[in-house]
Structure 1
Amino acid sequence: MQKPNVKEFLLNGAEGDIFCDILSFEPPQGMEKLGVLFVAAELRGAPRASWGIPNLITSAMRRSYFEKDTRKPLQAFTIALKEANAVLMHELSSGNEGWLGSSSFVTFVINHQTILASRAGSNAIGVWLIRNSVRSDIFSSDSRGMAPFSSIVSGRIEDNDIIFAGSADSFSSVTENSYDLKEIYRLVQQKITERSASCAFVINIPANEMPKHALAPLLNSSLMPRDLSILARVSKPLIFTQPIVQKLSEAVFGLKEKLTERLFKLPFVLKFKKNAPAWLWSINISWTVPVKSALVGIILVAAVFGLFKSGLYAVNHLKKPDNKSTQTVSQIQKDLDGARAAMIYGDKKQAAKLLEEAGAQISLLAQNKLSQKIIAPLTDSWKEMNAQLFSIKNSVSEKFLVLKGFPIPFKPQRIYLTTKADDQEILSFTDSEVGAIYRYSVKDKKGSIKLRSEKGGFIGVLPGDKRYLYVVGKDGITLYDENAENFASTLPYDHKENILFGASGTSFALLGNVQSGQILKISIEQDGLKNSGTWLKKPDKATLNRILDAAWDGKSLWMLRDDGNILRYTNGTRNETIILSGVQNDFHADRLELAPGPELLILDSKTGKIVRFNKKGVAQTQYIDESIKSSNDFTLSANGKTAYVLVGNVVEKLSLN
């Protein structure tokens, strides 16, 4: 039987509380005997979140049906139905028996001259056969009831059979005498457009073409050339007349003469010749040039053909995966289908685990140099699901600024954003070694250098609220006022070298002293900075020694710990420890910024991404860009929709919309 002609009809797929879907899968290479797998479904009263069930059933069936090429179709179909039932039973155990009982699922396989089919739920979806002007319902008319799939219907199909599968009303206009496929397609299309929530397969079994000649299978083969004139034009001069072949012939037979001459000089040959009868040596075979040319030509053609076939075999052998690779590919497909199922059911943890395993196996196949035709579809599916699970958005940054041409040696280490009274945004870059700040106006595209003092560099620079920076210098803590564009008052402090992180509000700053395990509160008074004492209720040296960055939201201090967790403190007391979730295992938190909400924006400089988390630590969006790998620092615009990332001496501008 020839490959069936399949036409699918599905418009919109949903109408009110009805949802329809159809899916089909061709057999993988080498499994053609298993045939084509089809699934049609109509959900009634199902919530939108469950509309992925038909796709989930199909994925489970496809994985198990095409798992082993040694299985017979009936055996493989039975195993596949068990997988489909596992999906349906999960829905039943979740209290969804109401809409499942009124929904309908049909799956069938067309293989050679056989059809295997099964139905679960109501009879809204069916399979019909037209043969010799007679239409038959392959399921019994009273076939209905609760999921899951319970029985298999099998039968033979013949040439010119037409099979309908899907919503019954889709085929109501097609009569038993309809055999014109174009007319059938038109009638089904017209019927489906009347009601959008309908689906249909129209499958035609074409007749086998009889061979016109005993050698027709060979002559029709794609290996046989169609235009033999080219071969004739090339072979004739090559084999018989070309000087090149004649010279090659003379060279070959000249070599034969030399070898013969040497052979006859060997002692045992001379002895044999002396004792052999004279008539044996009187035989003389005459080799004419045409005969020599013909023989050499035949040898050349045979050699070229042999090399071609050997090369083709070698290439196919190299491309063909071994049994171990085939098992790995099958396992990857299982992991991907399992991850897809976990995502539908909201189990992100299990989905992430399966995707991680699939990703590792795909990398292993790539290292073994398996054919890209096999790896590429798996990689594409993995990337798509990974992006969906982790809300990945591949961003394209803009090279915003190149820091160079300074009048002094200046190597930017940190980047901050401050605002002037007119809300003009200023990017500030600091170099603690030389003790300088470079200010750059985002609007005016102009910059200038500000030196702290002539006494040496900074110990560090810490962000203030909007208009301030706190410079921890060798003579104390100095306030830099962006509005005034100068360094304001300095507060002497003995243990300034231990202040390694900090954040601030509108009228004070919180500076972490890792040596004492306390957070120093610095107030901004009219007459300058004032030490307001410690902020934590009790010292916590173990915690403060592990803090990488901090930010203030107006009520709480958020601190990024070196294990990637977030600590939130209010009024000097820890309120909660937030474990970041929804990201890959290789996520590495380096810097923290707060956006309105508050939302946590965390830079991972190792993998080149900025991740937006909600206040509970659940990842919302991951912005990935190769350009921000190995970055030093980043800061946010006032509205939190733009990130400025410092990478060496280049500033990349990244949209976070």
Structure 2
Amino acid sequence: MQIFDLRFNPKLKEERSFASFIYEPENIYEKKLGSLYTVGELKNGLPGSHKFLDQINAVIKKNYYKISFKSPEKALKECLKKTNSYLGEELKKDNVQWLGNLNFCALCVKDMGLNFTKTGELKVILIRGGQINDIGKGLDSQEIDPYPLRIFFNVVSGRLADNDIILALTKETFCFFESQNILTKIALCQEITSKKIKEIFPAELFSKGEGAKISGLCFLIIAKKKPSAGKIHLSNVIFEKTEVLFSLPKIKKISVFIQKIIKTISLWKGEILSFSYNIYKLPDKISKKAKTKLKKFNPVKEFKNLFSKKKLAGLSLKSFIQFIEKFRRKPDTKRGLIFVSLFFFLILAGSFVFKATNQIKEKSDKQAEINLKQIAEQELLKANKLEKIKAPEALFELKEEILGFKPEKFLLFDDNFYFYNPLSPNLYEYNLQNSSGVLSEAPKNITSASYLSGSLLFFSEPDTILSFEKNSWQENKIEAIDSGAELPLFFSYASNLYFFNDKCEIIKYHYLGNLKWGLPQKWVKNKTDSCQNHGTMAIDNSIWILNENNISRYYGGYLQETVNFSIYPKGENIIKIETKSALPYFYFLDPPNNRLIILEKTGAIFKQFQSEKFNDLNDFIISDDGKTIWLLNGFTIYRIEM
């Protein structure tokens, strides 16, 4: 293997740490598992946080090269369990700075077999025969489990070919490489050498312009079937052995009073055994007076009297010893019965104490689990920039008796809000300035709505376009496409109409003028590029389709890119995506979690807003500048100012 470890402006951002480690097998047992390479990045760290990456590497190496493992895949999977446990222990120590900021991958290479895992935003790229493949893509959608904590999940396995190139890159580096076509330059190289690396990465590339703002790492491995003349290591390998310390829950001590009693009784254990023996071996002949006393003697009554609440309240070690001395002077039989009763009482008291102690321990363990889960969840929410709003601003509230329907969708046009429901032909217009509304009735039920310059457009299934301008309606027909699919989602862009049907097809109607449109056309050119799940769609100068864990961008009828994202908590049922060409964000509505999600168009989380008041979310609108968001929640309209 030939290795290049490239660092770009590593000291540019003090809050960011990088680390890469190269472990080559040293003995016959380690050689069975091959080489181990790790790459890590810690964002928003504190001074000295680079040591945390060293500790993770130490845990991985320690658990990877174990004699008991016979395959690299099993060894790496076991590493994930141990590493997750280690990170869980770090949470118990209140080390939470890394949550949401850790990007890490581990790669194992043995006889051209590759196994790797990753977490966070690191990219793992395979270049083979000039083709660039994101082989870590399948691991991008994994979410952190807060308890029991799981940061690392699955392992990807495969076979390498001769001269394959594997790259592990930090996100910032990857984005810059894409913008400069550096990955393409690497893919076109017939052979990667130190000289070629200097040509691809000239010094001025990262000292001027946008490159000077980049701080990141690129770890490059070239697979060789035959051993190469030498391995190139451009960074120092730092190995630091770390032991993971586990702290047991604190157990409350037994009360001092009980300890003193046990200690005192232990001094008299000979007496207790002796008197117990005397009771067991009563003489055959005893006096009538003794028999009378024995008949009158009630050990249960004596026991209750001895340990009455009144006596126990003032019991001290000194009085207890005096009590023992008093009964030592009584006849053997009675004294023995008293001590036996006392002996059994102490057994019962001891069992009660230890039972109570175990209950305290179990309660403590359970509370520790709850506390750990809460800490993990709080840090994950913080890392995912979730803001909880206790009292969101209610702009105004609609009256059901006036509308005659429950609004499910709304639009904003010329400072007026328009509300409608797909099951009703009614349209309610509400003016913000005078706080009054007007109810209009469309010719047909309104399925969905959009904008056309100077007016509003509404679609009524299966083939009717309704325009609404100056309180008047105009009805136009379009030719329905013969696909057997419904057209529930309707958008207008540059006066053309776009429908996203339940077969995951995008249908375009070209605008002819005078509120007339041409014949329907399937807009996506390549059928294999169609979305796999019917989600929702947004339009700026491209068409964006929301899938389960990513967003697909189409332009000119072709798939251009896929933006992956990971949100915590995971979106259960995102019903709408919105964006604007002038804004660098996506906006999602997630009603089951009472929240609005804002992502950057790179897939990074920008902000999340959540409130208990958002308990019936149906729709939202964004202002042109993106600074104001209106939410339709039941009959109430809330406003969020950014």
TM-score interval, smaller chain: 0.3 to 0.5
TM-score of the two chains, using structure 1 as the length reference: 0.45
Q: Larger Rg: 1 or 2?
A: 1
TM-score of the two chains, using structure 2 as the length reference: 0.46
